[in-house]
Copies of this chain bind each other. A is one copy, B any other.
């Protein structure tokens, strides 16, 4: 699938929350991860840049961790938004999550030059805390698995 014509959850984050280096549409130098529904699962695709090297030919693990991180918070936002009765494209501002914890198992070296696909399953732990289990594939090979615990951004964040 291609997500280019579907509204992503990040497309409707409030402007104050749209500067994330991973997924902020207003961060000119960031990765611009965009997370959408794909059936009951969540989906983000991304082709790392040639500079994002681990050893030549393979993708840097920190970029894979970044993809999993923002895919996790975006997936949690999609899920709570849907629970609240909204879908991306409604124009309603989605809830913004932050990452409480991130876990990544690197299963195989991830080849460069291929669009990576992150697919997530979201589970509500309690109303403000969601767990997202994620697989990252390259050419249908699972290269990494991750888990993100995402919590609704507290209004006190950073204050």
A27 engages B55 (CB within 8 Å) = no
A16 engages B56 (CB within 8 Å) = yes
Mask: chain A, 92-109; 1 = CB below 8 Å from B; 0 = not? 000000111111111001
Alpha-carbon distance between A55 and B73 when the two chains are bound, in angstroms: 13
Of A3-11, A57-65, A76-84, A119-127, the one contacting chain B is: A57-65
Mask: chain A, 1-31; 1 = CB below 8 Å from B; 0 = not? 0000000000000001101111010011110
B109 engages A158 (CB within 8 Å) = yes
Q: Which 10 A-B pairs have the closest CB atoms?
A: A62-B66, A21-B60, A65-B65, A109-B158, A29-B51, A102-B104, A103-B103, A101-B105, A19-B53, A21-B52
Interchain Cβ contacts under 8 Å between A and B, 12 examples: A21-B60, A22-B62, A28-B51, A54-B98, A60-B66, A61-B66, A62-B62, A62-B66, A62-B70, A63-B66, A65-B104, A101-B106
With A27-B53, A102-B104, A103-B103 known, 6 other A-B pairs at CB within 8 A are: A17-B55, A21-B54, A24-B53, A58-B158, A101-B103, A101-B105
Residues of A at under 8 Å CB distance from B? 16-17, 19-22, 24, 27-30, 51-58, 60-63, 65-66, 69-70, 98-106, 109, 111, 157-158
